[in-house]
Amino acid sequence: MMSLERSYDYPAKNAVRRAWMQFLPLSFQSSSCVRGLYLPGNANLELSGYLEKGVQAHQLIGAEHNEDVYERIKAQASGIHLVQGSIQEAVRQIKERGWNPLTFANFDFDGSCHTFVEDVLSVFSVFPLNDPAYLSVSSYSARDDEAVLQGIVNTSKFYSTFESTAQFWASYGRMMDRNTALRRQLPGSSVEDHVHLSRELGFLWWMALVMGSIDRCENAVWTVNESYTQSFNDILQDITRRAMERIGDQGEFRVLSDPRLGQQLRNRVCSLWPDRFEHYVWFTAQRQPMRTWMIRIQPLGQEEPRPTHFEVVEQLWNMATRTPLVYLNHSGTKISFD
Ligand SMILES: C[S@@+](CC[C@H](N)C(=O)[O-])C[C@H]1O[C@@H](n2cnc3c(N)ncnc32)[C@H](O)[C@@H]1O
Probe target for ligand 1 pocket from 110, 290, 294, with the most ligand atoms within 8 Å of CB:
110
Q: Ligand 1: which residue has its CA nearest to atom 15?
A: 109
Beta carbons of 42 and 60 less than 8 angstroms apart: no
Beta carbon of 50 within 6 Å of any ligand 1 atom: no
> How many whole angstroms from 22 Cα to the centroid of ligand 1?
20
Probe target for ligand 1 pocket from 6, 23, 39, with the most ligand atoms within 8 Å of CB:
39
In Å, how far are 65, 72, 101, 291 from 6, measured between CA atoms?
15, 13, 31, 18
> How many whole angstroms from 238 Cα to the centroid of ligand 1?
35
Neighbour tally for 158: CB within 10 Å: 24
β-strand 289-299 against 133-140: which pairing, if any? antiparallel
CA distance 278 to 290: 14
CA distance 84 to 79: 15
**Closest of 136, 109, 140, 151 to residue 289, by C-alpha:** 140
pLDDT of residue 196: 66
Q: What is the edge-to-edge ordering of all strands in the sheet holding 60-64?
A: 81-84, 60-64, 36-38, 104-108, 133-140, 289-299, 272-283, 325-328, 334-337
> How many whole angstroms from 61 Cα to the centroid of ligand 1?
12
CA distance 152 to 91: 33
Burial class, 240, CB count within 10 angstroms (exposed 0-12 / middle 13-18 / buried 19+): middle
> How many whole angstroms from 41 Cα to the centroid of ligand 1?
5
Q: Ligand 1: which residue has its CA nearest to atom 2?
A: 41
Beta carbon of 45 within 6 Å of any ligand 1 atom: yes
User: DSSP letter at 131?
Assistant: S
The residues pairing with 318 across neighbouring beta strands, listed in sequence order, are: none
pLDDT of residue 113: 74
Neighbour tally for 106: CB within 10 Å: 25
Q: Which atom of ligand 1 is nearest to the CA of 64?
A: 22
Q: Ligand 1: which residue has its CA nearest to atom 27?
A: 41
**Closest of 54, 118, 71, 109 to residue 290, by C-alpha:** 109
Beta carbon of 297 within 6 Å of any ligand 1 atom: no
Beta carbon of 36 within 6 Å of any ligand 1 atom: no
Beta carbon of 216 within 6 Å of any ligand 1 atom: no
Beta carbon of 41 within 6 Å of any ligand 1 atom: yes
User: DSSP letter at 249?
Assistant: T
Per-position pLDDT tens, the chain of length 338: 344 467 899 999 999 999 999 999 998 877 788 999 999 998 999 999 999 999 999 999 999 999 999 999 999 899 999 999 999 999 999 999 999 999 999 999 988 777 788 899 899 999 999 899 999 999 887 666 666 677 778 888 899 998 888 888 999 888 888 888 888 877 666 666 666 677 778 888 888 998 999 988 766 678 888 899 899 999 989 988 888 887 655 656 678 889 999 999 999 999 999 999 999 999 999 888 889 999 999 999 878 889 999 999 999 999 999 999 999 999 999 999 88
Can you point out the beta strands (E) in the chain? 36-38, 60-64, 81-84, 104-108, 133-140, 214-216, 222-224, 272-283, 289-299, 325-328, 334-337
CA distance 90 to 61: 8
> How many whole angstroms from 17 Cα to the centroid of ligand 1?
13
Beta carbons of 222 and 210 less than 8 angstroms apart: no
Beta carbon of 64 within 6 Å of any ligand 1 atom: yes
CA distance 73 to 66: 10
CA distance 324 to 175: 9
CA 231 to chain centre: 23
> How many whole angstroms from 133 Cα to the centroid of ligand 1?
20
